[in-house]
Structure 1
Amino acid sequence: MMMSEGVEWALHCCLNLAFLGPGTAVPGARLAAFHELPPVYLHKQMQALVRAGIVSSTPGRRGGFQLARDPAHITLMDVVAAVEGQEPAFRCTEIRSQGPSGSGGTTQAICTIEAAMRKAEMAWRRALAEQTLADLMATVERRYPATPRRISSWFAAG
């Protein structure tokens, strides 16, 4: 399964907002400029995050986007689902009912391939649901201690 680049963009923006702390609203254009992203396309991702209740948007001159929840309560799966949707990655179309070995109609037993794909997708979704923005923040702070300060400084200078 290939996720859109919007997932990466949304996760990085959420992480940046998390490092900036609660109450700090950042205009979408400024978020886009930080990673040199196209503002119009990033805005679509940010609006998906607003609809999902992950970020909030404040209009006006001092407005922008900020996290709507504590980073410990935002999972990677929340962000992926907001941007990509909830549809399953694999869709069984019951091709086993066609061709020389098929029954010509639907079969009663669950397709073995569909069951295996669902199991794998559930493991993937669980792994994403077990990781929060707070977990990512802790990893960044441990591996790259200067990064949170660099992010805060860059946005403060804007």
Structure 2
Amino acid sequence: MRLTRAAEYAIRCMVYLSTLGPGILASRQEIAEHAGIPSHFLAKIAQDLARAGFIEIRQGAKGGFILLRNPETISLLDIVETIIGEIYLNDCVARPSSCTSTACCAVHRVWMDARDQLRNTLAGVSFAQLVLQGSCIPGLSAEKGTAHVAYENIPELESESRVKCDQGTT
């Protein structure tokens, strides 16, 4: 499975908004510039995120996007599957009827287990955790004190476990 560009951009958008916290308005241009997302592409992605109830879109000159939920309650899996649909690693897992050997195929179980492990890993990472680990967006991180929200109920992460990201990756 390869993550689509739209899913990568949606994750960056949500990291940025999570760094600001719920209820804080950020303009489309602000998010696009800080998160490295083409503005026109961000507008399309935001529609999907809004339909799923993660953000609110405000129109007009003073418009933008507002995070609606606490980042502690939003997982990477939530956002990835909002953008690309349910994760499947191959056709026999996605559409069992496409494979005549599904019931007795040893490889089918391996694909199912791998898919389940990936989904569980993504489901186990909240956007609050990502912000605390380092936002991967230049200039924004809870560690540097630029986040506007202090998240509760997240254990402090050891400094050696902090994630370091290149500007172009999520």
What is the TM-score of this pair, normalised by structure 2?
0.71
Aligned residues between the structures:
138
Aligned position for 2:118: 124
1:21-76 per-residue CA deviation (whole Å, 9 max, x = no partner) reads 22211222321122343211122212111111111212222221111100000001
1:22 counterpart SS class: coil
Question: Comparing both structures, which one devotes a greater share of its residues to helix?
Answer: 1
1:57 counterpart SS class: strand
Aligned position for 2:130: 136
Query: 2: distance between equivalents of 1:41 and 1:134?
Result: 24
Aligned position for 1:103: none
Contact preservation (8 Å) 1:25, 1:62: no
Aligned position for 2:57: 57
Query: 1: distance between equivalents of 2:120 and 2:23?
Result: 30
Query: 1: distance between equivalents of 2:64 and 2:102?
Result: 52
Aligned position for 1:145: 143
Aligned position for 1:112: 106
Query: 1: distance between equivalents of 2:18 and 2:142?
Result: 16
Contact preservation (8 Å) 2:132, 2:142: no
Alpha carbons of 1:107 and 1:34: their partners in 2 closer, same or farther (altered >3 Å)? closer
Query: 1: distance between equivalents of 2:45 and 2:81?
Result: 11
Percent identity between matched residues is 29
Note the 1:1-158 alignment, pairs <5 A. 1-86=1-86, 88-92=88-92, 93-94=98-99, 106-107=100-101, 109-140=103-134, 145-146=143-144, 149=146
Deviation, 1:87, is 5.1
Q: CA RMSD in A?
A: 2.3
Query: 2: distance between equivalents of 1:63 and 1:110?
Result: 55
Letter in 1 for 2:4: S
Deviation, 1:84, is 1.0
Letter in 1 for 2:16: N
Query: 1: distance between equivalents of 2:63 and 2:32?
Result: 15
Aligned position for 1:99: none
Deviation, 1:144, is 7.3
Query: 2: distance between equivalents of 1:16 and 1:70?
Result: 13
Contact preservation (8 Å) 1:75, 1:130: yes
What is the TM-score of this pair, normalised by structure 1?
0.76
Letter in 2 for 1:89: L
Letter in 2 for 1:13: C
